[in-house]
Amino acid sequence: MAADKRASVHWEGAGKTGKGQISTETGALKNYPYGFKSRFEDDVTGTNPEEILGAAHAGCLTMALAFALEGAGFTATRIDTQAAVRLAKDGPGFKIDRIQLELEAAVPGIDEAKFQELAAGAKAGCPLSKALANVPEITLKATLKT
């Protein structure tokens, strides 16, 4: 079942003044712009690698929780997940030093303890969490709505 998922980037120019485009094989992103301003400033006309990573991590966690719930005999009526990825200065460069995940789910018939157990397991077991194991801090706040 292993399959490569592909993305590509085209860049022109220097680091601060250059511009790039990000594309994914599914077409979800097709020549989507990014550059210094969308990564390090508040320019919302483009994306950045951290934003895309956050979306991927939130998506992975959400699906992992849906599968964990199903395996335990529950079905969520909804799961909403957000991720905040922090890019911090690290000597002459930068590093991702924190990812904060926050999810809210409605799951009929589950108690709080079981929900928290399954959410924590989904966070630990999702492939993106495993791939990001070197990030010093990955937190999860899971809220069960009744």
DSSP bridge pairs for 98: 86
pLDDT interval class at 140 (50, 70, 90) = very high
Averaged pLDDT of the chain: 95
**Average pLDDT, integer, range 37-52:** 90
The alpha carbon of 62 is separated from its chain's Cα centroid by a whole number of angstroms, namely 10
pLDDT at 146: 82
pLDDT interval class at 56 (50, 70, 90) = very high
Q: Between 119 and 45, whose confidence is greater?
A: 119
Do 88 and 95 touch, CB atoms closer than 8 A? yes
Q: So what's the architecture of 49-145 in CATH?
A: 2-Layer Sandwich (3.30)
Q: Is the pLDDT of residue 1 over 80?
A: no
pLDDT at 138: 96
Q: Is the pLDDT of residue 42 over 90?
A: no
Task: Indicate the domain borders of the chain.
Answer: 7-40, 49-145
CA distance 68 to 27: 29
CA distance 146 to 134: 35
| DSSP string across 47-84 | B-HHHHHHHHHHHHHHHHHHHHHHHTT---SEEEEEEE
**Average pLDDT, integer, range 28-36:** 93
Q: Is the pLDDT of residue 59 over 90?
A: yes
Percentage of the chain exceeding pLDDT 70: 100
pTM recorded for the entire structure? 0.92
Q: Is the pLDDT of residue 98 over 90?
A: yes
